[in-house]
Amino acid sequence: MSTALKQVFNKDKTFRPKRKFEPGTQRFDLHKRAQASLSSGLDLRAAVKLPQGEDLNDWVAVHVVDFFNRINLIYGTVCEFCTDKSCPVMSGGPRYEYRWQDEHKYKKPTPLPAPQYMNLLMDWIEMQINNEDIFPTSIGIPFPKNFIQICKKILCRLFRVFVHVYIHHFDRILLMGAEAHVNTCYKHFYYFSTELNLIERKELEPLKEMTSRMCL
């Protein structure tokens, strides 16, 4: 990464603190293996495949946390330009509008300005990945039976960040010279999510044309 890009993707721009893996744990080792594969220039399609003999839940957990950190960082670089005025609804162009729903305040799908939606989205994901009952960090503690379903929902919501950034704020990414970094992150996310069937095809529709040029 160039010096200019390092200044763009620095810790001060991070939307919120990173979730990290504890050294010495199996998940830390998996994380390092995945990072080494990416750094070595290995084909992204190959890099996302479940390594032989590894547990699917561990592999998914490592990637979900990593994608959260990366996508959170990407949005952090454009969030000052994503305001209630510029983005009064959370959308991906005129055809796609995302409404927020949770188990607390918004029990019905509710239209919200993009910044508010993003805050709720990142808060919700952070709660999931910091919940030891969902993402256990201690050896021997099993993942919940619905772990993959929870991860599917997390990845679905993270994809919406890509949609909004690409359609409404990619001019800022271009101005910062960060498009190659963001595109690589997107391709990694796309290959992983589709390789393991973790995202429904209908969710991918807003970026279908771009994806066909970039990934297929």
Is 39 domain-assigned? Answer: no
How much is the pTM? 0.84
Question: Does 32 reside within a domain?
Answer: no
Burial class (CB in 10 A: 0-12, 13-18, 19+), 55: middle
Let me know if residue 172 belongs to a domain.
yes
- Does 17 reside within a domain? no
Helix (H) or strand (E) holding 143: none
Q: Which residues are annotated as a binding site for Zn(2+)?
A: 82, 87, 164, 169
**CA–CA separation, 165 and 35 (whole Å):** 24
Over residues 120-134, the pLDDT tens digits come to 999 999 999 999 999
How many domains does the chain fold into?
A: 1
Categorise residue 2: left if φ over 0, alpha if ψ from -120 to 50, beta otherwise: beta
**Per-residue confidence (pLDDT) for residue 20, from 0 to 100:** 56
Segment-wise mean pLDDT, segments of 10 residues, the chain, 216 residues = 41 49 53 52 82 91 92 93 96 95 93 96 94 87 95 98 96 92 93 96 95 90
CATH code, domain carrying 193: 1.20.140.30
Tell me, what's the pLDDT at 165? 97
Residue 173 resides in a domain: yes
pLDDT of residue 22: 57
Task: Establish if 38 belongs to a structural domain.
Answer: no
pLDDT of residue 44: 86
Specify if 191 maps to a domain.
Answer: yes
Whether the CA torsion 164, 127, 66, 69 is positive or negative: it is positive
**pLDDT of res. 137:** 82
Q: Which domain holds residue 195?
A: 56-215
Residue 12 maps to a domain:
no
